[in-house]
Amino acid sequence: MTGSPQAPARPATAPLRIALIASARYPIAEPFAGGLEAHTWTLSTALRARGHEVTVFAGPGSDPGLGVVEMPLRPARISETARRDTSTAAAPWIEEHHAYLQLMLELGREPSRYDLVHNNSLNYLPVAMAPALSVPVVTTLHTPPTPWIESAIQVAPHCPVRFNAVSAHTAAAWRHIVPAATVVHNGIDTRRWRPGPGGDDLVWSGRIVPEKGAHLAIEAAELSGRKLRIAGPVGDADYFDACVRPRLGRTVTYEGHLRQPELCELVGSSAAAVVTPCWDEPYGLVVAEALACATPVCGFARGALPEIVTRACGRLVRPGDTAALAAAVEPTVALSRADARRHAEAFCSMDAMTHSYERFYRSVAA
């Protein structure tokens, strides 16, 4: 790799100096735009609480308590002639490209400030430009394979980036180009996501976009005879207007985009959480959140859900089968809420995730 000489090795138990690269488009602040932003907030907060020095590079409007260094999204001045070129990219893509490019150039100029760089974004430039840094770079694989990151891995003859995946399912999906990703399951703060008393209604939470399948949760709830409460940001207004809004009424309600305390109260006061992915969910933070609230999960067996949901805390059925999902509601509601909470503490906790990240970081920075 190129760059300045490596700084002297630090003691194995010394706090780490971590540059944590987050989303440039969405702020790391409540109410979170999605699971990736929530994960970044939780991880950075936990690492700082354990004594590490964490600098979060993120979009404007992020939580000031994180000590964020903003990545400004500056509009590019593109001439009308250039805009008419068939190769012109969308303005948001150009803005994000330049934001990450500038950040990586700055990190390359200041090699001694950090022990490692953790790319927790979905952008490809931290991967492509990793050979220009003199400190280790790690990247978390949060999604199925994407063409930009796959191509970035192939920029250098030997990609120096160390990868971790949020589930074994996601690690397997990337194995053709990342043969040995370390699995570090996502975690949530079980002190903030507290057990609730349960209730009679079902709950669905998450980004309201087609791949999350809120319309299928509505169908299953109607077949089951239970009311359904929906919460989350509307990520696709056309989908919401066509597939969700027309079905709202006495038995299906939309509670809005809630902050964490209100969402915790909603999930914890529900009989069961319905999780209906229409894609191979890389992890599924809503599952961990529900279990931490002592609310058992009823969902589709897609992606990483079978890694998280056990027979003690939920029921999974064939993907897309809303009749089977409806039939599984009552067996799910009958499960022990205490068992759901115990599983969250053992498998989905922030402490377990942070401890795994610390081991991963130290193996990379050694």
pLDDT value for 11: 59
- Give the helix/strand (H/E) hosting 228: strand 228-231
SS3 of 352, please?
Answer: helix
Dihedral pair phi/psi, residue 233, rounded to 5°: -75, 140
User: 17-187+349-365 maps to which CATH number?
Assistant: 3.40.50.2000
Transcribe 176-216 into DSSP letters. Answer: TT-TTPEE----B-TTTS------SSEEEES-BSGGG-HHH
pLDDT value for 12: 63
Transcribe 15-77 into DSSP letters. Answer: PPEEEEE--SSS-SSSSPSSHHHHHHHHHHHHHHHTT-EEEEEE-TT--GGG-EEE---PPP-
Q: What is the mean pLDDT of each run of 10 residues along the chain (366 residues)?
A: 48 87 94 93 96 96 92 86 84 90 93 91 97 95 96 94 97 97 96 97 98 98 98 97 98 97 98 97 96 98 97 98 98 98 95 96 92
Question: Parallel, antiparallel, or unpaired for β 202-205 and 137-141?
Answer: unpaired
Nearest alpha carbon to residue 273 among 321, 328, 233? 328
Q: In what order do the strands lie in the sheet containing 137-141?
A: 68-70, 53-58, 17-21, 116-119, 137-141, 162-165, 182-183
CA–CA separation, 225 and 334 (whole Å): 16
The C-alpha angle with vertex 109 and arms to 7 and 93, in degrees rounded to 5, equals 130
CA 157 centroid distance within chain: 30
Q: How many helices (H) and strands (E) does the chain have?
A: 14, 13
CA 165 centroid distance within chain: 11
pLDDT in tens, 21-80: 999 999 999 999 989 999 999 999 999 999 999 999 999 999 999 989 999 888 888 888
**Residue type for position 214:** A
The reply to whether 17-187+349-365 and 202-347 are identical in fold is yes
pLDDT value for 196: 98
Dihedral pair phi/psi, residue 199, rounded to 5°: 180, -160
The C-alpha angle with vertex 104 and arms to 103 and 107, in degrees rounded to 5, equals 90
What sections of 197-284 are H helices per DSSP? 214-224, 237-239, 260-268
Nearest alpha carbon to residue 203 among 191, 221, 224? 221
Nearest alpha carbon to residue 87 among 74, 96, 75, 78? 78
pLDDT value for 3: 45
Indicate the domain borders of the chain. Answer: 17-187+349-365, 202-347
How far lies 109's CA from each of 55, 103, 230, in Å? 16, 10, 47
How far lies 235's CA from each of 257, 269, 278, 299, in Å? 11, 25, 15, 21
Q: What architecture (CATH level 2) is domain 202-347?
A: 3-Layer(aba) Sandwich (3.40)
